[in-house]
């Protein structure tokens, strides 16, 4: 086989479809996020409009100070797996902070949110005898991979469709172990799951619940505990999973659950046991970020205001975006080549960075620009973005919505 030819052909097909991914080589400016320098070409300074560092916590002085302190005090890496000399006091403190955030007995850290889903779901589903996993159709790749890896029986329920979920649950013996896996805020459409109703079904049919709150932790609830906190449901969920890499601005993933469940995953999950622990400075930074967002609501309020403002500005010029109850603004393009082109021109001519979201991240025909306003975007940033989109929508002859009479 001509191996190199095979790779080149596969890549060339991706390019033809407009689905080839190009990374933006950026250098962020500490202290002035969302600004960055584009090192990949000569476009100079850009404003980032698609970061999952939703609140700018990756630049927060408390977070940076905690990381500097830890680095100076204990050095760079953890030096091993948690089991073999990689557990530091910073890891222990972070797990306590996370358990408290979600009102659970315990929490367990992983090197990323991806790994936490893969390892926790994979281990639960594999080890619980005859476990059936009921997985929402739009679950994240990390959940899907974990469930697949477990080799447990799985059934996919139509996205957020309670009737379908109940139909599948009701078809099973009541005493069969079942695990319902879903997310709170779905990251591409920005819609939110009916968590309370799902918990009701779980109670009725004797199922466990596993909730991915990756796009909600730090952002919702009085202390940033997520949608389940906001809705007073944290105690009804068996497992809450989150990331430290998005709104908390650092890196890492976790589950929060009962002490026994966390101890079980700690003891049986290969993806927890056999990998080097997060650097202590990373853990310390995450702890500082969580602590800050537990007591400060200013970032959440300011983010909400920016999201509302941008939505209203897009509506005023008829730029189509998915209506949803979250902080995510998906501007719909519906064509991979145009989506990539828009993104390229925004970067090249306007210094605006919005990554195109194409298949397989979203279904074909729903290609979009996913915009995530943050408290640190200025009014001038919004003005500039809206002006650019207005010009490009005309230039590319993209569909607009009728604008309501003012
Ligand atoms: C990003 C993401 C993850 C993975 O979290 P990381 O910390 O980035 O690995 C898990 N679930 C969802 C829904 C995500 O969007």
115 CA distance to ligand 1 centroid (A)? 9
190 CA distance to ligand 1 centroid (A)? 14
Q: Is 184 in the pocket of ligand 1 (CB under 6 A)?
A: no
The tokens of 54 are what? 């939703």
Whether 404 shows a pLDDT value over 70: the answer reads no
E strand or H helix at 353, and its extent?
A: strand 352-353
Residue 21, pLDDT score? 86
Q: How far is residue 67's CA from residue 283's CA, in Å, rounded to a whole number?
A: 8
Distances (CA, A) of 285 to 39, 223, 274: 27, 17, 23
Residue 31, pLDDT score? 86
Q: How far is residue 251's CA from residue 319's CA, in Å, rounded to a whole number?
A: 34
Mean pLDDT in residue range 177-191: 98
Beta-sheet pairing, 207-212 with 239-243:
parallel
Judge contact between 392 and 342, C-beta under 8 A.
yes
Long-range pairs for 387-393: beta carbons < 8 A, 24 or more residues apart: 388/346, 388/349, 388/350, 388/352, 389/314, 389/317, 389/319, 389/331, 390/317, 390/319, 392/342, 392/345, 392/346, 393/317, 393/319
Whether 2 shows a pLDDT value over 80: the answer reads yes
Residues 271-290: pLDDT tens digits?
999 999 999 999 999 999 99
Residue 43, pLDDT score? 67
Q: How far is residue 316's CA from residue 404's CA, in Å, rounded to a whole number?
A: 8
Judge contact between 285 and 70, C-beta under 8 A.
yes
213 CA distance to ligand 1 centroid (A)? 9
With the most atoms of ligand 1 within 8 angstroms of its CB, the residue from 117, 249, 328 to mutate is 117
Q: Which atom of ligand 1 is nearest to the CA of 117?
A: 10
Query: pTM value?
Result: 0.96
**What's the half-sphere exposure (Cβ side, CA atoms, 13 Å) at 199?**
16
Q: How far is residue 238's CA from residue 240's CA, in Å, rounded to a whole number?
A: 7
Q: Is 116 in the pocket of ligand 1 (CB under 6 A)?
A: no
The position carrying tokens 């991806």 is 114
Q: Is 372 in the pocket of ligand 1 (CB under 6 A)?
A: no
Q: Is 212 in the pocket of ligand 1 (CB under 6 A)?
A: yes
E strand or H helix at 332, and its extent?
A: strand 329-332
Whether 34 shows a pLDDT value over 50: the answer reads yes
146 CA distance to ligand 1 centroid (A)? 13
Residues 35-46: pLDDT tens digits?
999 988 766 899
The alpha carbon of residue 390 and the mean position of all alpha carbons in its chain are separated, in whole angstroms, by 28
Residue 19, pLDDT score? 78
User: Which of 104, 246, 306, 340 is labelled catalytic?
Assistant: 246
**What's the half-sphere exposure (Cβ side, CA atoms, 13 Å) at 359?**
14
Q: Which of 40-49, 153-162, 334-343 has the lowest mean pLDDT?
A: 40-49
116 CA distance to ligand 1 centroid (A)? 9
Q: Which atom of ligand 1 is nearest to the CA of 139?
A: 13
Verify whether residue 246 is a known catalytic residue: yes
The position carrying tokens 């939703």 is 54
Mean pLDDT in residue range 106-127: 98
Instruction: Report the candidate in 403, 405, 381, 406 with the shortest Cα–Cα distance to residue 319.
Output: 403
DSSP, residue by residue, 50-73:
S-S-TTSGGG-HHHHHHHHHHHHH
The tokens of 271 are what? 């993806």
Residues 17-26: pLDDT tens digits?
877 888 989 9
Beta-sheet pairing, 253-257 with 106-110:
antiparallel
Portion of the chain with pLDDT greater than 90, in percent = 89
At residue 406 the predicted structure's pLDDT band, cuts being 50, 70 and 90, is: very low
- Its sign, for the CA torsion 263, 269, 271, 273, is positive
Instruction: List the beta bridge partners of residue 276.
Output: 81
Q: Give start and end residues of each alpha helix (H) in 296-326.
A: 298-316
Instruction: Report the candidate in 16, 36, 7 with the shortest Cα–Cα distance to residue 24.
Output: 36
With the most atoms of ligand 1 within 8 angstroms of its CB, the residue from 52, 114, 212, 251 to mutate is 114
Residue 256, pLDDT score? 99
Residue located nearest, by CA, to atom 13 of ligand 1: 140
Q: Is 110 in the pocket of ligand 1 (CB under 6 A)?
A: no
With the most atoms of ligand 1 within 8 angstroms of its CB, the residue from 186, 243, 357 to mutate is 243
Indicate the average pLDDT of the chain.
Answer: 95
Q: Is 214 in the pocket of ligand 1 (CB under 6 A)?
A: yes
E strand or H helix at 92, and its extent?
A: helix 89-102
């Amino acid at each position: 086989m001509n191996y190199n030819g095979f790779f080149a052909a596969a890549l060339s097909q991706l390019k033809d479809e407009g689905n080839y991914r190009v990374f933006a080589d950026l250098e962020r400016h500490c202290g002035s996020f969302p600004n960055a320098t584009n090192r990949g070409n000569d476009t100079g300074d850009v404003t980032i409009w698609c970061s999952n560092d939703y609140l700018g916590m990756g630049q927060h002085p408390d977070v940076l100070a905690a990381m500097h302190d830890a680095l100076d005090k204990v050095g760079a890496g953890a030096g091993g797996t948690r089991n073999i000399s990689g557990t530091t006091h910073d890891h222990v403190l972070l797990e306590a902070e996370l358990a408290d955030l979600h009102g659970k007995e315990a929490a367990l850290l992983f090197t990323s949110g991806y790994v936490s889903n893969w390892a926790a779901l994979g281990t639960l589903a594999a080890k619980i005898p005859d476990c059936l996993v009921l997985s929402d159709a739009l679950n994240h790749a990390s959940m899907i991979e974990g469930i697949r890896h477990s080799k447990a029986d799985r059934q996919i329920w139509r996205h957020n469709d309670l009737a379908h979920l109940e139909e599948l649950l009701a078809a099973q013996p009541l005493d069969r172990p079942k695990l319902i896996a879903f997310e709170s805020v779905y990251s591409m459409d920005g819609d939110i799951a009916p968590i309370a109703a799902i918990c009701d079904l779980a109670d009725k049919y004797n199922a466990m619940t596993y909730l991915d709150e990756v796009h909600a932790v730090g952002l919702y609830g009085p202390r940033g505990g997520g949608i389940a906190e906001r809705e007073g449901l944290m105690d009804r969920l068996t497992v809450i999973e989150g990331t430290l890499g998005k709104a908390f601005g650092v890196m890492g993933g976790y589950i929060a659950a009962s002490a026994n469940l966390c101890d079980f995953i700690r003891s049986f999950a290969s993806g927890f046991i056999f990998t080097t622990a997060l650097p202590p400075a990373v853990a310390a930074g995450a702890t500082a970020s969580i602590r800050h967002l537990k007591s400060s609501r200013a970032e959440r309020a300011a983010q909400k205001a920016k999201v509302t403002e941008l939505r209203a500005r897009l509506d005023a010029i008829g730029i189509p975006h998915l209506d949803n109850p979250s902080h995510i603004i998906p501007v719909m393009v519906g064509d991979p080549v145009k989506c990539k082109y828009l993104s390229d021109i925004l970067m090249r001519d306007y210094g605006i960075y919005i990554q195109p979201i194409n298949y397989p991240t979203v279904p074909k025909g729903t290609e979009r620009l996913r915009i995530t306003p943050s408290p640190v975007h200025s009014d001038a940033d919004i003005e500039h973005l809206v002006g650019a989109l207005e010009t490009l929508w005309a230039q590319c002859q993209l569909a607009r919505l009728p604008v309501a009479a003012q």
